[in-house]
Structure 1
């Protein structure tokens, strides 16, 4: 399940840039009760993009900000409780790793639900049902 993080350059130290995606990924698995799942763990993949401070805007004005976006199947982040927990904890992780450079109000989290059958993993297109079965069997893909 791909994670994209976009942030203003310089918000995180190089060391903390390397921590951000792994911590957000671990949190995603945790809130879904999938920590250590042999199928899910390696398919939770993400990247961090840094953008010049002059090129991220809020209300048309440059702002130091971080965007956290997941693309998941329709059952991912399937309850408001899971969303609430993830958004709160992910925001806290980003703010903490910024060492005071990032304000909570400038961390944005969203989830995009992908089209059923669009999960290409190891050369196989998985449907939501097949993903659910693979997660339940807890076998490496």
Structure 2
């Protein structure tokens, strides 16, 4: 079965490269494998047991990521990505849910939602659930933005 999955993944990469596209999925659970982009890409993040899966991704600068977030938990969660100023605002704020704002999505139990974020310069950004005590529990992840190759 693993050999079949590997062959299927290789076929997806070959088709994407032949079409001038890019691979759009992380290769392992923590997301540290592939570097996504540049251009537009979609990343699916599953929330299970108050954790993001994958927790970390890497992208090239100039990549716009559409985060599709699936909450499999029986409680509400959110995904907020951005610079520390965004996280500071959320840590001290009282928003129970987020309007459609780039980089922010709130989800009830069992819901799926999406948000888009443009990673325009090399940096390390956090993804955090700022609902009470979720960050303290460890509901954090990250996006490493790498300089675009020459």
Higher share of residues assigned strand: 2
So what's the TM-score if we normalise by structure 2?
A: 0.25
Higher relative contact order (CA 8 A, sep 6+): 1
The TM-score with structure 1 as length reference comes to 0.26
